[in-house]
Amino acid sequence: MKQISLTSLGQHNSESNGHIAISGHVYDVSDFLDAHPGGKRVLLPLLGKDATAEFNRYHSPTLLTKYKSLVVGTLEGHEVEASSDSTDAFGNLIAFAEPAWYHGQPSPYYNDTHRRLRAWMRGLVEQHIIPHVNDWEAAGEVPSSLYKTFGKEGVLSCMVGVSPWPNWVPHQPPCGIKPEEWTAFHEVVLGDELARIASCGIGAVLSLGPQIALPAVVNYASEGIKERVVGPVLRGEKTICLCITEPSAGSDVANIQTSATISKDGSHYVVNGEKKWITNGAWADFFIVAVRTGKEGMNGISLLLLERGMEGLRTRKIACQGNIGSGTAFVIMDNVKVPASNIIGTVNKGFKCIMANFNHERFGIIIGAIRSARICYEDAVIHAHRRKTFGKPLFDHGVIRNKLANMAHKIEAAQAWMESIVYQQTQMSHEEATLKLGGAIALLKAQATQTVEFCAREASQIMGGISYTKGGVGGRVERIYRDVRGYAIPGGSEEIMLIWEFVSPSRFHKCCME
């Protein structure tokens, strides 16, 4: 890239030929002055100058990825921000703004394959999602090309929660990782990096299908269904959603009412009922639906595959506080005729199929919640250094530092417990992990979601009005604040996660073995 001296920069100081330097890059802003959302007037005195400090005062550091087309060169003698491939330190170097291993701290869990994966995923997310999050949230949906792009790149295949890398997914592991090297820690890295977009809803568009709906197909469906569903979903050609929750049954899965009555000749089911808060439901092609085929309680539930286009199946978007862009919907089924061969697993044993993936689903939420808490902390620390009150930066006020310290210890505790449980999981079979770790994962989910709630609150208090406003430097915290309930309620509400009788290993044994 062209090197530009300070003297040459200084000569570009007029409205028709105006350059400014930010973090070592030189931007030609001549055609951008009138379009600048913060107004032209603030930019004029900075034309021909290094405006890094002024820029950092008002914008999020990731904003400029959207404005690469304005870059005309780099400022001579200035270091452009370090690229992401150092093995010692990666990402934001503020203490606790990234997991400790990102800062080169020793860890038994991560190696070079994880370092390559995190740089790859960060690059994809920064290129394809972060610059557009505000626009997509405002529009209430993401372009369908997003799912296709991440399917093509092989990201969706990384989310199905199986290790080593399975041979039925349509991709090889990314970053030259060998199939036998792939473990749950790679999925942790991927989920963590995805959560940096700070939008529960847009993240859910990508992850929820492969992470919570597809596992039932992969583990329990007939070969015919697998062939029809798995490849197209993981290549990003078709979308899938899991339909469990109903207007009157959420965390209490065993209580669902949607009925599936078998026809006299046994050729098809007739499905009637309504599912609510179904993520991706507004546009999904495939619906994995929990239905009642037998008696009351957990032993009368089955899973059925429904497909868009079946007569009597309708979806309707639900406007929610958070999770914006995720296509959260009602799924309404009126006398839908479904071939009996669309059953997934054994009739009346669907509860077991649902429970088998609950830990995986909860892990997705846990990882997202911890990274979101970290983002709140990160943005609050940056703001506390920039903003002055009573003649000194906010950071110099003990009350603010105390808030930051309280955020950091909760985040690090949740991260450490999460990694410890993932490690235990890597040492167990899927069945053993389901039985032995369910309780701990439930408690960890509660800890992670309480941590993000605490951090969103504290960051908002530190950042004040700017995190009460959409977009701009406080935009990430504003979005996360709205998404707090989107972490704490689905996948088992915090209250359910903290019922001791439910999380004790014996209870898990009972409901998974039946």
220-241 as b/e: b if 16+ CB within 10 A: bbeeebbebbbebbbbbebbbb
> 291: which residues sit within 8 A by CB, 6+ positions away?
256, 258, 259, 260, 269, 271, 273, 301, 302, 303, 304, 350
Size of the site for ligand HEM (CB under 6 A): 21
Q: In the complex with ligand HEM, which residue's Cβ is closer, 61 or 170?
A: 61
**Cβ 59 to ligand HEM shortest distance, Å:** 4
CA distance 42 to 27: 15
Least Cα distance to 141 among 296, 336, 283, 312 occurs for: 283
* The token pair that represents 124 in the structure block: 């994809």
Among 20, 97, 282, 452, binds ligand HEM (CB under 6 A): 20
Region binding ligand HEM by CB under 6 A among candidate stretches 3-11, 43-51, 344-352, 354-362:
43-51
Pair type for strands 3-4 and 71-75: parallel
Q: In the complex with ligand HEM, which residue's Cβ is closer, 383 or 445?
A: 383
CA distance 411 to 97: 10
Q: In the complex with ligand HEM, which residue's Cβ is closer, 58 or 423?
A: 58
* The token pair that represents 139 in the structure block: 């529009």
Among 42, 94, 95, 416, binds ligand HEM (CB under 6 A): 42
**Number of alpha carbons in the 13 Å side-chain half-sphere of residue 152:** 8
**Cβ 30 to ligand HEM shortest distance, Å:** 11
**Cβ 90 to ligand HEM shortest distance, Å:** 24
Region binding ligand HEM by CB under 6 A among candidate stretches 40-48, 223-231, 390-398, 501-509:
40-48
Provide Rg for the chain, Cα atoms.
25
Residues 46-65 binding ligand HEM (CB under 6 A) are: 46, 51, 54-55, 58-60, 63
Q: In the complex with ligand HEM, which residue's Cβ is closer, 20 or 197?
A: 20
21 binds ligand HEM (CB under 6 A): no
465 binds ligand HEM (CB under 6 A): no
> 121: which residues sit within 8 A by CB, 6+ positions away?
155, 189, 190, 193, 194
**Cβ 319 to ligand HEM shortest distance, Å:** 24
Among 7, 16, 34, 37, binds ligand HEM (CB under 6 A): 37
45 binds ligand HEM (CB under 6 A): no
**Cβ 130 to ligand HEM shortest distance, Å:** 11
36 binds ligand HEM (CB under 6 A): yes
Among 91, 151, 236, 471, binds ligand HEM (CB under 6 A): 471
67 binds ligand HEM (CB under 6 A): yes
- 99-104, long-range: CB < 8 A, 24+ apart: 99/192, 99/374, 99/415, 100/412, 100/415
CA distance 277 to 468: 26
Instruction: Report the residue count for the chain.
Output: 514
Phi first, then psi: what are they for 388, rounded to 5°? -105, 140
Least Cα distance to 158 among 175, 174, 180 occurs for: 174
Region binding ligand HEM by CB under 6 A among candidate stretches 29-37, 72-80, 188-196, 353-361:
29-37
Region binding ligand HEM by CB under 6 A among candidate stretches 32-40, 139-147, 387-395, 492-500:
32-40
Among 10, 38, 297, 505, binds ligand HEM (CB under 6 A): 38
Residue ranges that bind ligand HEM, judged by CB under 6 A: 20, 22, 27, 29, 36-38, 42-43, 46, 51, 54-55, 58-60, 63, 67, 70, 471-472
